[in-house]
Structure 1
């Protein structure tokens, strides 16, 4: 069962993985999104489909404070409204031409997308800092089985070789999971390397469990 019910927040990327002026694909509860950051540094999320010809907006490029489709260059502002159609430079695009948007919060080194209408902001993990993200070719249930414990609110506590690691989990389709590795904010480089290796060990174990499940 997905750990992010309606009214909550889903972590879709680390802030460091989305520099200003870039766009990347991500997965939200509503489906694929184009996650992008304006040149001035604000994060935004669009449905990953241009209203014009259906091209993925995650293949596009950021132009100032807008996201432009790579196909015909139609540009969209953060609110989703079309601002420019290169083939008709004198035209002011009608407000009916727009892309669906999702509410984004960027804080604590994590980019969150809302699941429905949350009553409060996304969680903050005091004393923890994001280290890296990785994708496991396994569902959350397989990760929980490999860790020997259940995730609470999407956060999985895992101990490997006496090293405690916190993993923030987000479903990425039916049998894939995005894992955000969190470490103590004052951890040293050796401890960060150990945490990364522990997360990789869990991923391998979970993928073995997932493959065995498929085989059965």
Structure 2
């Protein structure tokens, strides 16, 4: 049975005074994604989209984030190689004003033991999601996961500001990891957790596996707008 695939999309848009204006510009594109593409009968075997969340990048108020859950990697590829995606991309352009969408971030569910639906649900139901797209040294993934499980999981589970986590290798390059952490707030991460001994213990446990030091960012105001887990 095919595994579900999680996709994180970055949509940097033109500066606007309020969300209503940009959401109006983005609406036609999301209508294609949510309602129309499977009716084109281009890829009739693609199971399609199961859930969609939308939010914002905390560190850049002119970037929206979409998180998509597909029934399989194939169903995501079916959309992004279909004529419907050409239309989707075209209708996005007035909102983006020359900026570029990034959609090549996919991770399969149920590959690591801490990337199942329960972990995903606990992570996405969050006021502030830390996103750490982590590049691991060649040959270091097994050791990275061993230390993550031995050290980091316990620290996150005990931290009062953390309410869940999810980590899985990216399909595009399994040396790269998609780590999502549910924090009660951005300050619970940066101002509280990073001042505790547990933060240093996490860094010490993983440091030798970093290909480059990861700079995390956050998704805020994430809301489920279609489907369910």
Normalising by the smaller structure, the TM-score range is: 0.3 to 0.5
Q: Which has the higher strand share?
A: 1
Higher relative contact order (Cα pairs below 8 Å, separated by 6+ residues): 2
Q: TM-score, normalised by structure 2?
A: 0.38
- Whose helix proportion is higher, 1 or 2? 2
The TM-score, its normalising length taken from structure 1, stands at 0.40
